[in-house]
Amino acid sequence: MAILSTGPINNSAVSGIRPTQEVTIKIENQDSVNFSTLMIEGYILNGSRTSYVLESFSVAPNQVITKNYFANFDAYSFVFTTGGVAASQTEISVWGKNAAGELVTAHRLVSSELLGAGAESGPLSINRIFVANFDSNDVSVIDGSTNEVIVSIPVGINPAGVGVNPLTNRIYVGNLNSDDVSVIDGLTDTVIATVPTGDGASSIGVNTATNAIYVANFNDSTVSVINGLTNTVIATIIPVGGLSLPTGIGVNSLTNRIYVANFNFDVVTVIDGATNTVITQIPVGVNPFRIGVNLQTNRIYVSNFTGNSVSVIDGVTNTVIATVPVGTTPGEVGINLSTNAIYVANRDTDNVSIISGLTNTVLATIPVGNNPNGVGVNPITNRIYVTNQDDNNVSVIDGVTQTTITTIPVGARPFAVGVNP
């Protein structure tokens, strides 16, 4: 794996017109046999660093991919994370273009000019998996390259949800029975703040574009909004009146929409992240439990705990476009942005259903451990991590072969999992 960056690119206006209006990125996999993966992050630099591009995909052998992005800003930057067998054979170039489509010479960069180095010189948090152990009140941190637990971090009482912001290297753990969120620094693997929330903090969703963290408070049927910069609650949202029991949260950072599974009312509440207000409710299956969001396709996947199915929501129309039967009592939902595969842990059938995001059908069912619940995906390495509550371990699935390749012992009753790729 390698992390490359353009560095800050100054695009100040000349005679009232910014030189670059659009950025073209060329990706070339020079390996004739192996795939690579690429994550592209784009940022507006306007006094603060604001995410506006987040995209992951696979690059086939000998494939050349072109991406075009709007760039009419005073300053911007791009970060590229390459992975897979052919990572070292993947070349990237960045080309600024003016309004006429002509190249802006000063805004042209090729692979040899991009800043960065291999994973060994990147942040220590890269390829880390964070497992919330409900009964031992701690988080196991797994090194994704060695499949070993490198540290256990004490948190609050009964941790039941994990959210990760890879841009700030912060991990957020919802503690169900201490009614708070533990904030972990991914560099030092220590708790740097504890944020009081509502009653029964559980599932957590992170908006990487706004650095807002959304916490489902199971017992008081509210959502707490935490400012990721100050680690304080800035808003409390009531998703649905009455005892709705919010159990899951998903966030689309590109549309600034937040999706809340209301277990008792069989609906998903949609929140506008700009105003922190409820804009609609979508009927789904029986007892919606957890939510996964595909940023690229704007599809939202909801596991229906008692309905033994997954509802697929179109984020544009806010309607259910498909209902996919899975195993018994489905738990968390993991999305692989690189492959458009959706992974659902089935608690009472001890397996994982793999759904095609293209066809909305189950492609395969993979046996795992006893009572699986949590699912985390690393789209760069194509590894999927499933918590087995009754076995106190994590199954690691290879996304290429769709088989379990190892099992990692963790704490007591591992419930939820988050991945920092």
pLDDT digits (tens, 9 = 90+) for 335-390: 998 899 999 999 999 999 999 999 999 999 999 999 999 999 998 889 999 999 99
Between CA 143 and CA 166, with CA 332 as vertex, the angle to 5 degrees is: 45
Q: What share of the chain in percent tops pLDDT 70? A: 97
Average pLDDT over residues 37-61: 86
Least confident of 36-40, 144-148, 220-224, 375-379: 36-40
pTM, entire model: 0.76
pLDDT tens digits for range 176-223: 999 999 999 998 999 999 999 999 999 999 998 888 999 999 999 999
Neighbours of 112 (CB within 10 A): 7
- Lowest mean pLDDT of 116-120, 129-133, 198-202, 326-330, name the range: 116-120
- Distance (Å, whole) CA 156 – CA 322: 38
Q: Rounded to 5 degrees, what angle do the CA atoms 23, 24, 25 make?
A: 115
pLDDT at 116: 61
Q: Give pLDDT, residue 312.
A: 98
Q: Mean pLDDT score of the chain, rounded to an integer?
A: 92
- Residues with Cβ within 8 Å of 111's Cβ and at least 6 positions away in sequence, in order, are 4, 91, 92, 93
Question: What confidence score (pLDDT) does residue 119 get?
Answer: 38
Per-residue pLDDT at 76? 94
Which has more confidence, 182 or 60?
Answer: 182
**Model pLDDT, residue 261:** 98
Q: What is the pLDDT of residue 70?
A: 94
pLDDT digits (tens, 9 = 90+) for 218-274: 999 999 999 999 999 999 999 887 889 999 999 998 889 999 999 999 999 999 999
Query: For the residues 297-311, what does the mean pLDDT come to?
Result: 97
**What does the pLDDT read at residue 55?**
81
Rounded to an integer, what distance in angstroms lies between the CA atom of residue 391 and that of residue 369?
Answer: 7
* Residue linked to tokens 């690691």: 396
- Residue 121: pLDDT band by 50, 70, 90 thresholds? very low
Determine whether 359 is exposed, middle or buried from the number of CB atoms within 10 Å of its CB (0-12, 13-18, 19+): exposed
Residue 241: its pLDDT value, please? 76
User: Is the pLDDT assigned to residue 3 strictly greater than 90?
Assistant: no
Confidence of residue 124 (pLDDT cuts 50, 70, 90): very low
pLDDT band at 1 (very low <50, low <70, confident <90, very high): low
* Alpha-carbon torsion, ordered 321, 326, 329, 333, to 10 deg: -60
Give the pLDDT confidence score for residue 125 in this predicted structure. 41
